[in-house]
Amino acid sequence: MATGILKVDGGRVVDEKGNTVVLRGAGIGGWMNMENFITGYPGHEHEHRAAMLKVLGEEKYEYFFDKWLEYYFTDKDAKFFASLGLNCIRIPFNYRHFEDDMNPRVLKEAGFKHLDRVIKLCANEKIYTILDMHTVPGGQNPDWHSDNATNQAQFWDFKDHQDRTIWLWEQIAKRYKGNPWIAGYNPMNEPCDPEHWRLPAFYDRIEPAIRKIDPDHILWLDGNTFAMEWKFFDKILPNCVYALHDYSMMGFPTGERFKGTEEHCTKLERQFKRKAEFMTKNKTPIWNGEFGPVYANPRLDDDAETINTERYNLLSQQLSVYDKYQIHWSIWLYKDIGVQGMVYTNPESAWNRLIQTFLDKKRGLQLDAWGKYPSKEVEEVLDPLVYWIDKVSPTAKDTYPGPWATERHVLRAVFQTFLSKSFAAEFAELFNGKSMEDLNALAHSFHYDECLQREGLNKAMSSHAKVHGDKQSIVMSKEDEDTSMEMEQGQ
């Protein structure tokens, strides 16, 4: 049994008896908030679902997605996760499961079907869950993982988007207040407020609104600019943990390869310490809500084994840094089609075989931002355009979000928003004519029984699941404070 609802006590998270609890685990992945690289479709979830509905019709559409949500996480997943010694799963969800844009503030009870089920499965294995609204009305950031096809974070410009988000969290709080296996609520993932001050102002609104209904659960609050910045954060809210995201470019195909040198290890710790400065100064708990490399594919990389060994070593070094400061962490992610997950679909599964040719096309066109491979075809188009933009408008590269630079802005707006949307129908056509039996088999490809395990990743996580030794204080040096952002964005 859980020993009461977790709460914040100074720099610790504690149970009802005052025992320190350190939460370590993973984000479940693109389950109730689907993502293109996690399951294979192009563009954004709502575009993908609309295209699938058009091809399948309502009956087959509802059947397929219900079975997919069911098979993605079952009791076998929960048991496996617990067997690694991990104790927390972060569950991202899209607000569209619970409310329609054309019927706002009317709760969709059906949206809770699988969320309730997975929370209970996790509780049965003594796994805490953190509920994460990964997509909010209007989009809190301009990226694909907030299901934002406009490339504009309109959440910040329209109060009604903010009011609807608070309303939905009030409904969620009514449902789950008193549940001791829910470690708390993550009101929004990776906010990107160009003016910075509106994020802490929103937290000042949503915290008391939730507290009126559920006074006990912890709020896990992301920093601004993909959980990396803390401008205008000038106070600590009660019973809240503040969250950073700590991806390293050394874990991605276009980044420098990790060699375990003193320089590389120092860089990892310095990057973490800069992002944690706000929590350090205010002596609060620290939660790293996302981090982790992507992994090489033997189909595509001749030296995949060597690359992946380097990335397991990178991950282990990051985990050692987190052990040093005894922080809470949640790696990204638990399950996908073979890019980053602890568990992933078999390349010979019905799902992977159906979509593999399309995946090859997506990769060549760089339609996915996450784990993208170099593409000569794209470079021949993109490089001259970026050069021209930087020449005629030298300040374009400084457009918020600052870490992106011109190339990332163009890729996002043109390739991964405009172009990717045009392929939604082509992907959906792969499912045309499929019977109910076929659709069940495709959905079942994500069942634990059919999936493979990424052993190097799981071994590293398991070995760092428990905290050992004494906590060390984070001391910021002048070099740490002067370090600029060293990673683009997370999830």
The fraction of the chain above a pLDDT of 70, given in percent, is: 95
CA distance 333 to 107: 28
pTM for the whole structure:
0.95
CA-based nearest residue to 349, from 437, 445, 430, 443: 445
Report the b/e string of 347-385 with b at 16+ CB within 10 A.
eebbbbebbeebbeebbebbbbbbbbeeeeebeeebeee
CB-CB neighbours of 56 under 10 Å:
20
Q: Is the pLDDT of residue 228 over 80?
A: yes
CA distance 17 to 208: 25
Q: What is the CA radius of gyration of the chain?
A: 21
Q: What percent of the chain has pLDDT over 90?
A: 91
The reported pLDDT for the residue numbered 417 is 96
pLDDT digits (tens, 9 = 90+) for 148-165: 999 899 999 999 999 999
Confidence class of residue 467 from pLDDT cuts 50, 70 and 90? Answer: confident
Residue 147 binned pLDDT confidence (cut-offs 50, 70, 90):
very high
Parallel/antiparallel/unpaired status of strands 286-290 and 12-14? unpaired
290 catalytic? Reply is yes
Based on the number of CB atoms within 10 Å of its own CB, is 323 exposed (0-12), middle (13-18) or buried (19 or more)?
buried
Count CA within 13 A, CB hemisphere, residue 123.
17
Dihedral (Cα; 63, 64, 65, 69), 10-degree rounding:
100
Task: Provide mean pLDDT across the span 330-342.
Answer: 98
CA distances from 149 to 138, 141, 183, 194, 406 (A): 10, 11, 31, 18, 19
Is the pLDDT at 146 greater than 80? The verdict is yes
Res. 478 pLDDT band, cuts 50 70 90: low
Distance, CA of 187 to CA of 190 (rounded, Å): 10
31-88: per-residue pLDDT in tens? Answer: 999 999 999 999 999 999 999 999 999 999 999 999 999 999 999 999 999 999 999 9
User: Phi then psi for 287, rounded to 5 degrees?
Assistant: -120, 120
Higher pLDDT, 256 or 473: 256
Tell me which of 45, 190, 229, 269 is the catalytic residue: 190
Place of tokens 């710790």: 269
Q: Mean pLDDT, the chain, as a whole number? A: 95
Place of tokens 């964005």: 489
From residue 163, alpha-carbon distances to 104, 145, 166, 170, 290 in Å are 11, 21, 5, 11, 27
Let me know if 190 is a catalytic residue: yes
The alpha helices in 183-293, defined as continuous H runs, are 198-213, 224-227, 262-275, 277-282
Confidence of residue 484 (pLDDT cuts 50, 70, 90): very low
pLDDT band at 371; cut points 50, 70, 90: confident
- Overall residue count recorded for the chain in this entry: 491
Residue 479 pLDDT exceeds 80: no
- Catalytic-labelled residue, pool 35, 229, 269, 290: 290
Cα distance between residue 41 and residue 475, in whole Å:
44
